[in-house]
Amino acid sequence: MKAMIIREFGGPEKFELAEMPKPVPGPGQVLMKLKATSVNPVDYKIRMNPSNWAKVPVPAILGYDAAGAVEAIGDRVTHLKPGDEVFYCARIFGRQGTYAEYHVEDAEIVAKKPANLTFEEAASLPLAAMTAYDSIVTFFQTKPGDTVLVHAGAGGVGAFAVQLARASGARVLSTGRKENEALIKSLGADEVIDYRSVKFEDEVNRLTGGRGADAAFDTVGGDTLVRSINCVRPFGKLATIVSVAGSINGMQIRNQTLYFGFMERTETKIQALFILASRGLVKPLIDSVFPLEKIADAHRKIEAGGMKGKIVIRV
């Protein structure tokens, strides 16, 4: 099969198109013929790190997200059959990823593709949407009447966080660039705060009458989470999926709770995403589409930042 591989860790130029063995499904696994995948920040972080903390076998096929059709099933697989259109987020720690024509995955975390989505749209969802789900739904337990602050509402994860908070009945405040205001509001944000023209924490306190948000979700990093402490109410919640710069000691006197998120793939979450997407409560936001052989260019683009949604790869 054709795959984009790296033989050593480093820059995007390390990618090369190669012939790799077609995988075979074992018990409880399915073999997929992939139609699309997508690029996530974790992909280039693995590619750049010579310590190989993800323990991917070299030559390595990176990539987490996938959408395609089932080609073959292993023993003990009962909910899928050859020909089914599916999507999922791969478990690539110690395994090969989805920048390839074929991929084998544990059947328990593979779900039917929502019929209302194309393969490219479906491939844009799993990792980013389930990462947002962990914070917005599972940790925050967002409910009608809550006020949730989402940082970078036009980003890959932030766009899904805005949609999930809106679907949960919350008032949604989001940071973003002025030129992205209409886009972020179309996803469900009530207010978009241009972080380049105002201090977002002051604006959140103004919009909430000084009460503060019930929860804040940081997808940006740096001092964003530390600055968010003072615009989240006492006994409120904060979550981050990126590194934090500065002291979080201010949370203690406000009795706040912090979640450092690292998404775990589960059957419950991918099935929840299937339902949400099928009902139109979570919609894809695609920044751009690259062919598989241009994966290096896709990595350069995501490293540069500033995307509106996800970068998708057509296999």
> Tens-digit pLDDT profile for the chain (315 aa)?
999 999 999 999 999 999 999 999 999 999 999 999 999 999 999 999 988 888 999 999 999 999 999 999 999 999 999 999 999 999 988 899 999 999 999 999 999 999 999 999 999 999 999 999 999 999 999 999 999 999 999 999 999 999 999 999 999 999 999 999 999 999 999 999 999 999 999 999 999 999 999 999 999 999 999 999 999 999 999 999 999 999 999 999 999 999 999 999 999 999 999 999 999 999 999 999 999 999 999 999 999 988 899 999 999
Burial of 124 (0-12, 13-18, 19+ CB in 10 A): buried
Vertex 303, ends 301 and 306: CA angle to 5°?
70
Nearest in space to 219 (alpha carbons), one of 170, 166, 176: 176
pLDDT digits (tens, 9 = 90+) for 57-114: 999 999 999 999 999 999 999 999 999 999 999 998 889 999 999 999 999 999 999 9
Cis peptide before 59 (omega within 30 of 0): yes
What 3-state class would DSSP assign to 192?
A: strand
Cβ neighbors of 24 (< 8 A, separation 6 or more) are: 31, 72, 104
pLDDT confidence of residue 92: 85
Report the distance separating Cα 309 and Cα 284, nearest Å.
8
Average pLDDT, the chain: 97
Instruction: Give pLDDT, residue 303.
Output: 95
User: Please, are residues 98 and 32 in contact by the beta-carbon 8 Å criterion?
Assistant: no
Domains observed in the chain: 2-125+284-314 (3.90.180.10), 128-260 (3.40.50.720)
CA nearest to 245, candidates 225, 230, 223, 217: 223
Q: Tell me the sheet residues that pair with 306.
A: none
Q: What is the pLDDT of residue 52?
A: 87
Please tell me the distance from the alpha carbon of residue 30 to that of residue 218, in angstroms, as a whole number: 35
